[in-house]
Amino acid sequence: MLHNNKMIRTLGTALAAAWMMGSAAAVLAQNGGGYELPDPARYEEAIQRFEAMDEQSLPPEDAIVLTGSSSIMFWNEEAPADLAPLTVIPRGFGGSVMNDVLHFLDRVALTYKPRAVLIYEGDNDTGRNNIPNDVIIEQLETIIDRIHAELPEARVYVLSVKPSVARQATWPIAQDLNERYQQIAAADPLVHYIDVATPFLQADGTVMTDIFVDDNLHLNEKGYDIWAASIREVLMEHEAQHE
């Protein structure tokens, strides 16, 4: 038993070391490697499905739009109950990146004349598409500027990139992006940063391993319980008064 415990501790230490070290190679690759923005047209059918839903039942104005990549998409059905009594319009689509939200912003968010827009992007940008953080930030700032221009009183909520077992090699890049998200929020009273990363981390800085489905990337029920609680806490603080 002692021998097994020692082996477990040794393995845990090794995993923690690998996690904490991150990947300097990944950072260098992002800074120096090439990248190509995926064509937003690959989500045209998904956006058209939202529009078809709207024709059947038009969502209310002055609600909170939730948009972003698959972590939002897989939450689309549960989000209204998880965030009640807040009125939300879930519009997450696929494995999108920040540029996709920018491209479809009119149709996926602004068309609803929302009082707030919540965005989860950066996960696929940094973890799969090698899109530099400078580019992601520029796209986010453009999104915020467009929301401010069309809806001057609307709040924008930017979620941190969540950690995952599958993308631990690029976590240092995501952490840098999260810090820059925070800086944007700190400089604009209408922008709020929601930390959905820290609640998923253990005391040693490694990500929890029991919050994902089999791909070690997307959240399971336990993961979504933590995710929803973190988001609801911030939204209730700022949005409950507007219900």
pLDDT tens by residue, 162-197: 999 999 999 999 999 999 999 999 999 999 999 999
Residue 70 has pLDDT above 60, yes or no: yes
Residue 104: pLDDT band with limits 50, 70, 90: very high
pLDDT at 207: 97
Residue 3 has pLDDT above 60, yes or no: no
Across the range 143-158, mean pLDDT stands at: 98
pTM of the predicted model as reported, rounded to 2 decimal places: 0.87
What is the 3-state secondary structure of 187-214?
Answer: CCCCEEEECCCHHHECCCCCECCCCECC
Across the range 149-163, mean pLDDT stands at: 98
pLDDT tens by residue, 14-28: 444 444 444 444 444
CA 208 to chain centre: 17
Per-position b or e across 212-224, b if 16+ CB within 10 A of its CB? beeeebbbeeebb
pLDDT at 35: 85
Residue 33: pLDDT band with limits 50, 70, 90: low
pLDDT, the chain, mean: 90
pLDDT at 11: 39
User: Which domains are assigned to the chain?
Assistant: 2-32+46-242 (3.40.50.1110)
pLDDT tens by residue, 195-206: 999 999 999 999
CA 173 to chain centre: 14
